[in-house]
Amino acid sequence: MAIERTLVHVVRHGEVHNPEGVLYERLPGYHLSRNGMAMATLLARHFEQMPITHLRVSPLLRARQTMQPIASGHSGVEVVVDDRLLEAASSFAGQRFGKYHQALLAPRNWLALRNPLRPSWGEPYTDIATRMVDALHDAAQAAGPGGQAIMVSHQSPIWILRLAMEGRRVAHLPTGRRCSLASVTTFHFLSGRCVQISYEEPAAMLLGKDGNSSISTGS
């Protein structure tokens, strides 16, 4: 008898309304823009015919708003709020970075930039990897053999999760992340072991050229 794959689809939330260009990170109250809601709708359509057996989401508003239409299409599945899916903590939160991250040139931020491999400005990459890997395995177990789970999280934690699961170093340059708004990074499990990672962009038609948005500053 063939062993059925368990799939865990890890979704980055949609575009956020942020006209002032604030690095919002874990700050409360940042909600999806109109375009972000359209992205969430496209995600719901992407998943509507899949046998989803488990739903898990970051507690931040933008993630929960992204999950809402997905969950509506799978009304019999309870949504689990999981703090391990939170955005990375950062000492830069609340600052206006601008399109070219001009805030990094401010003297007040220089000390925080002393060790980009940890990183010195916030939650260690290794800590993010640990919590995200644990959440991923819990979601796979909850989905069950042949089941599929959806987790909604944020760009930085999702990319670090992928690096960790591929056995790569989790220290990285943010510009090298492949994790666009409303993207889906899927982890394929066989007998409890991840055997494949795939990537899709169901809302690609709503993205800018860089895969993000000119009015979103965060992940």
Of 165, 170, 76, 164, which Cα lies nearest the Cα of 123? Answer: 170
- Tell me the CATH number for domain 6-206: 3.40.50.1240
In one letter, which amino acid is 38? A
pLDDT tens, per residue, the chain with 219 residues:
567 899 999 999 999 999 888 888 899 999 999 999 999 999 999 999 999 999 999 999 999 999 999 999 999 999 999 999 999 987 667 677 666 566 666 666 545 556 666 776 679 999 999 999 999 999 999 999 999 999 999 999 999 999 999 999 999 988 889 999 999 999 999 999 999 999 999 999 999 754 554 334 456
Per-domain residue ranges for the chain?
Answer: 6-206
**Strand residues in the chain grouped as ranges (E):** 6-12, 52-57, 79-81, 148-153, 184-190, 193-200
